[in-house]
Amino acid sequence: MADERTPFDLDAYTREVQTGECWLCRVAAHDPDYPRHYLIHESDDAIAFLNRYPTVRGAVIVAPKTHREAVIQDFPLQEYLTLQRLVWRVGRALQAVLKPERVYVASLGSPQLTAHVHWHVVPVPPGIPPGEQQAALLDLRSGYLPLDEAEARVLATDLSMMLLAM
């Protein structure tokens, strides 16, 4: 597994998300002018795809297709539970395909950055020292692992097949 991180340009990212259309709405709408994302699931209500800026291999983002911002308040219970069912399935698929030590789930939306609510489902590989787990796995200040296109395609296919089986 490649472990060479690329510095994450938080300033450029901040400018991009603050000036453009909501990037998650663009991914959900399959905007051809937006960089490709590797979807592993799509329904009428939700998408799941490989994080373009993962801190570990196989990090997935789950989001509603509709632009919602507040992680609890903007969802009727049944819609929330439907999304959480997908989070659960993605976690199970990651466990089956990548055999992580454990899976982290977090929703860290920010009105100043990505306002569109989403969940990070992050497979923690074995062997990461305790001090580098948890926050470090969600913190882009230490850089990200660039997606290898061929590897991402295979991984997205494996994960989507596994999701279909659940």
Residues binding Zn ion (CB under 5 A): 22, 24-25, 67, 116
Nearer to Zn ion, 25 or 97 (CB): 25
Nearer to Zn ion, 21 or 139 (CB): 21
Q: Please tell me the chain's helix, strand, coil percentages from 3-state DSSP, rounded to the nearest 5.
A: 40, 15, 45
Residue 142 beta carbon to Zn ion: minimum distance, rounded to whole angstroms: 27
Nearer to Zn ion, 17 or 155 (CB): 17
Q: Which residue is nearest to Zn ion (CB)?
A: 22
- Cα-Cα-Cα-Cα dihedral sign, residues 90, 105, 15, 57: negative
Residue 138 beta carbon to Zn ion: minimum distance, rounded to whole angstroms: 20
Interior/surface letters 25-34, b for 16+ CB within 10 angstroms, e for the rest? ebbbeeeeee
Residue 67 beta carbon to Zn ion: minimum distance, rounded to whole angstroms: 3
- Cα-Cα-Cα-Cα dihedral sign, residues 141, 34, 98, 102: positive
